[in-house]
Amino acid sequence: MMDKRPLPDRPTAYLLLYVLVCSGCATRLAPAYDEHIVVGLTNANTQAMTLFAAFSAGAKQDQFAAYKDRYDGLIGSLHALEMQIHARPAPATPLRLAADFSRDEVDASGPPVEPIQGMARTITTTRDVHGANGLTATEVEAMRRQWMIYADQALTYEAYLER
């Protein structure tokens, strides 16, 4: 006579199948490290911190023309970095694990670009305020600290990818 064992319920069976399929294989969840992006971020950070240091005591509106090209070059390089990050191929994942566990839409846009967008917005705002009214030391310090938050996020993410 056959022993009647209950079959596992569907979620348990799927979990077991998933573990069997994924055991022994490495699934990459982040894009590959790109040294060009890190070099670009590091250069942009150096340029921005040099600008903020030059204005640490404030900057008069009539000084703006001498710095406009530096602002524009930095903003342009940040937009170019954003394009490079968008163009970096996302890893091919065999399973859409995130979609299975949360029924939310999976963001397939690739790596985060918000920190670089924030860096560009910060420098753009600094440029615009400088050109319109000049910059006080307090405004410069606020912009510098905002920049540091975004730059830290971007550089930390890219450093993580190097591992």
> Phi, psi at residue 59, to the nearest 5°?
-145, 135
Predicted TM-score (pTM) of the model is: 0.73
Per-residue pLDDT tens over the stretch 26-75: 656 666 778 899 999 999 999 999 999 999 999 999 999 999 999 999 99
Distance in angstroms (rounded) separating the CA atoms of residues 51 and 24: 50
Give CA separation, 58 vs 52, 79, 119, 123, 133, in Å: 9, 26, 20, 15, 11
Instruction: Say how far apart CA 41 and CA 117 lie, in whole Å.
Output: 12
pLDDT one-digit tens code per residue, 93-126: 655 554 545 444 445 445 678 999 999 999 999 9
- Please answer whether residues 158 and 33 qualify as being in contact, where contact means their C-beta atoms are separated by less than 8 angstroms: yes
Residues pairing with 135 in the sheet: 59
